Amino acid sequence: MSVANSVLKSRTRLNEDGTEHLLLGRAILKVKPSRKRAKRTDHKFSKEILRLREIEAVIKHRHGTDIPDPDGTDDASLCLSYIEAAAGACTDQDMFHWCRRWAPWASASDIERVVLLSAKRRRMIPADSVAKMLCLSMSERTQLGIKTIGACDLTKAKRTALMKERKRERDRQRQERIRRAEGRVDRESHAAQTLAATQPWKALGISRRAWFYRQKANCTEVSRIVSTKESDTSVQTEQFPPVPPSSLLPSAARVTPAGGLGHQAPAGLQGAVPHGSHYIRSESRS
């Protein structure tokens, strides 16, 4: 009985082409086709299609569902400009089918005329030209997030400068949020805690230069000089023997009228030549 149950138990088999077979033994009970989702890289971006979708967004924003019938009004040129801008996007869109959705009041002659004019174009209408046709302002363009249509009240150079300024502001705000999440203080709080703002030398009653000098010398007050005599010593440490009195010296070493002091004989008694210039002149004459 258990062998029969194991043989008749259904199983699923996945094939290489992506299909799944529900098998009961060798019999195929059900075939599930492969359903592969398209990758995002398989989608090809088209600027022309985006232009057409943005024109439709402007129509929805201004008129709700579709373009109103301009019969009996002064808005006939503006209502027809929507069709001209859509045809000038060069998307190979069937304009008769498009007008049945967005401009059901448009006649076949008007649509055919617009189609013939757009067929001669090799590229879609420039962004600033479409903005003038639709009277699209910069505020409305920013509100709707329009990218492929310009603005009738700002040139391309001014729009580029404005976009750069807005991007810098967004980047600044993002970096500020990151710094706050990391626990960093803002610039105003940091500037309030600097030395230039607090000025601690004024509280001590000293100059700025003196305060920085004390911080560098790692001191808080003026150093004091303390002198003591406990460790003072005399400058002359070597003791010389006293000079003996003249009465104790030999007779030759005593002071004589000819000269000589101390225990040495005078220069005349040692046979030295007398000093002086008059002795030299007397010798030269002789």
Distance between CA atoms of 162 and 139, rounded to whole angstroms? Answer: 12
Q: What is the pLDDT of residue 1?
A: 47
Ranges of H-type helices in 106-155: 108-119, 127-134, 138-144
pLDDT band at 216 (very low <50, low <70, confident <90, very high): confident
Of 52-66, 90-104, 233-247, 264-278, the poorest mean pLDDT is in 264-278
Res 2 pLDDT > 90: no
Distance between CA atoms of 115 and 90, rounded to whole angstroms? Answer: 10
What mean pLDDT, rounded, does the chain reach?
Answer: 80
Distance between CA atoms of 266 and 252, rounded to whole angstroms? Answer: 9
Mean pLDDT of 68-84: 88
pLDDT, tens only, 36-45: 666 666 678 8
Higher pLDDT, 255 or 157: 157
State the amino acid at position 277 in one-letter form: S
Q: What is the pLDDT of residue 273?
A: 54
pLDDT, tens only, 110-158: 899 999 988 888 888 999 999 999 999 999 999 999 999 999 999 999 9
pLDDT band at 100 (very low <50, low <70, confident <90, very high): very high
pTM for this entry: 0.52
Distance between CA atoms of 130 and 7, rounded to whole angstroms? Answer: 71
